Amino acid sequence: MKDEQLLKEVTEKATKWLAPEYDAETRAEVQAMLDADDKTQLIESFYKDLEFGTGGLRGIMGAGSNRMNIYTVGSATQGLANYLNVAFKDLGRQISVVVGHDVRNNSRKFAEIVAAIFSANGIKVYLWDSFRPTPETSFAIRELKCQSGVNITASHNPKEYNGYKAYWDDGAQVIAPHDVNIIDYVNRIKSVSEIKFEAVPENIEIIGKELDEKFLARIKTLSLSPDVIARQHDLKIVYTPIHGTGRELVPQSLKNYGFTNIIHVPEQDIPDGNFPTVDSPNPENAPAMAMAVEKAKETDADIIMASDPDADRIGVVIRDDKGGYVPVNGNQIQFIFNNYLIQRNKELGRLTGNEYIVKTIVTTELIKDIADAQGVKMYDCFTGFKWIATVIRENEGKARYLGGGEESFGYLAADFIRDKDSVSAISLMAEICAWAKDQGKTMLDMIKETYVKYGYSKEQGISLVRQGKSGAEEIAALMVKFRENPPAAIAGSPVVILKDFLKLEQTDLRTGEKTKLEMPATSNVLQYFCADGTKVSVRPSGTEPKIKFYIEVKDKMTSPEQFDDCEARATAKLAVIRKEFGCD
């Protein structure tokens, strides 16, 4: 009966998409779903509306209210335009926005529609002349003193996806109350006829090279070791954009820093929303880096780096001590950056005691250990760079930002951008590699030294994919289970601290004492901390049909020679924990 009622509801909803105000292609696609014997696609396309999550609006492209198409993009933009015209009604000048996009299929089309709708609502639009890295849109909003911005991207998602990231006037993604208010204004739109699709050309200005030059010039100011780069300028760097937007600006930034030996992967330099050389264009996954690794073997490269399709994430592969190549995980990327930025600022006499770094709550605790030892304040925040940007905003004029990031291969080294940025991250990582080489060390040597000094840590992220409506229900049920029945021990070690960020409550299980967690909002995240330093975090993804587990285990490492033994023990322990949480 429940399934019959759902089918009736989605059928009624889909039938409205056969009206004349929808284009012929959309009507034909919807009619085909209605006519099909198998109603799965119909249900998946219409059972809900796309909603803003940690990364904005994101979904599979196609017809339907739960799909990315010109109408869902149009509704989001009309709602945002209506809200901007209310929120900035006393601005005293024309409201302005930046509109950018990545290389995905339909991204340029969606970006032009977004620009048209803003312009039709009396809003000034700065539209990029072509695809650009996501962080450059954030930079441009600040540089052009705009009130908002939109970037059409689905980051590292599979080719079937696209997305819509909305930004506010500080160049950061929208948070409360604006995100909730925008959704409210979007939900007020009941008809396609309310969306102003007809562009007003005089309200649209094309931007390009001039902003690129300003962006790259600012990124160059982040360099802390130009003398080292001068000596190690011929460092062999393999870089791949994985068919994405980093193709032009990342190599230019490396050259600006002084690097002269940038090795390309020609097949992956071609912008292509189908990402033909990889199954998934995600530098977090080793297969996406395979062609770059082969190029490194051919050229005896020092380091391999990649950016994802919208060039906000960074992938890193380094030389091991046997002459091969090993990937650097997202947590290691974070502590490499933070360790270097803190240490070099200290060496240059720039640490005053009023500096800070930021990490997300699911990122390794090793970063806090480093910050505490060096006298640098560290802030924890929720997953997503809008929360890192929130910490930056709250500290503006009070303390100096050194850097911040999260375990999912994103880092932000500059406060003049308010989203993760691979252009600056790749440039700085090359500098760090040169800095190590200048001292006769490898990047792996640096990692081992960090473990000896601050303690060994190994992390693993696991995502369980659960598609569609039934998958969403299963994920919700798992979160209820973990919340109501927390484990007493993990891999034999007692759970001593439970953090529930939905309740903003921390419980010390040894004493029963409860304390309030100081966070700017609530989030459906659970964390278990064990007596032996193990940490497990559980949360549903805000942008994908997944429940995510983040596991961290600790060990003692008193010399670099103990690294392999620590790795073996940690790998075995991670396997036990995965099994205990039903991840295998």
Sheet with 314-319, edge to edge strand ranges:
262-264, 237-240, 303-307, 314-319, 325-328
Amino acid letter, 526: L
Structure token pair of residue 93:
């000048």
Task: Please say whether the beta carbons of 167 and 173 come within 8 A.
Answer: yes
Burial state string for 190-203 with b = 16 or more CB within 10 A and e = fewer than 16? eebeebbeebeeeb
Task: Please say whether the beta carbons of 347 and 435 come within 8 A.
Answer: no
Amino acid letter, 375: G
Return the DSSP state at 236: -
| 155 in active site | yes
- Give start and end residues of each alpha helix (H) in 288-438: 290-299, 330-347, 366-374, 385-395, 422-438
Q: Considering just the CA atoms, what is the radius of gyration of the chain in Å? A: 24
Amino acid letter, 303: I
Of 395, 426, 421, 400, nearest to 139 by C-alpha is: 421
The length of the chain in residues reads: 584
Please pick, among 65, 75, 96, 155, the residue that the annotation labels catalytic: 155
- Give start and end residues of each alpha helix (H) in 170-225: 178-187, 209-220
Give the sign of the dihedral formed by CA 424, CA 428, CA 431, CA 437. negative
Of 447, 443, 449, nearest to 319 by C-alpha is: 443
The region, left, alpha or beta by phi > 0 then psi within -120 to 50, assigned to residue 519 is beta
Write the CB contacts of 281 (distance below 8 Å, at least 6 apart in sequence): 156, 159, 242, 243, 244, 275, 288, 308, 309
How far is the C-alpha of 428 from the C-alpha of 421, rounded, in Å?
A: 11
Q: What is the DSSP string of 345-362?
A: HHHTT---S-EEEEEETT
Helix (H, G, I), strand (E, B) or coil at 340: helix
Helix (H, G, I), strand (E, B) or coil at 466: coil
Return the DSSP state at 61: B
How far is the C-alpha of 432 from the C-alpha of 225, rounded, in Å?
A: 9
Task: Please say whether the beta carbons of 463 and 547 come within 8 A.
Answer: yes
How far is the C-alpha of 34 from the C-alpha of 42, rounded, in Å?
A: 7
Angle among Cα 275, 278, 282 to the nearest 5 degrees reads 85
How far is the C-alpha of 454 from the C-alpha of 446, rounded, in Å?
A: 12
Burial of 115 (C-beta count, 10 Å sphere; 0-12/13-18/19+): buried
Give the DSSP H/E element, type plus range, for residue 484.
helix 468-484
Task: Please say whether the beta carbons of 381 and 360 come within 8 A.
Answer: yes
User: Which residues are paired to 498 by β-bridges?
Assistant: 507, 528
Residues with a known catalytic role:
155
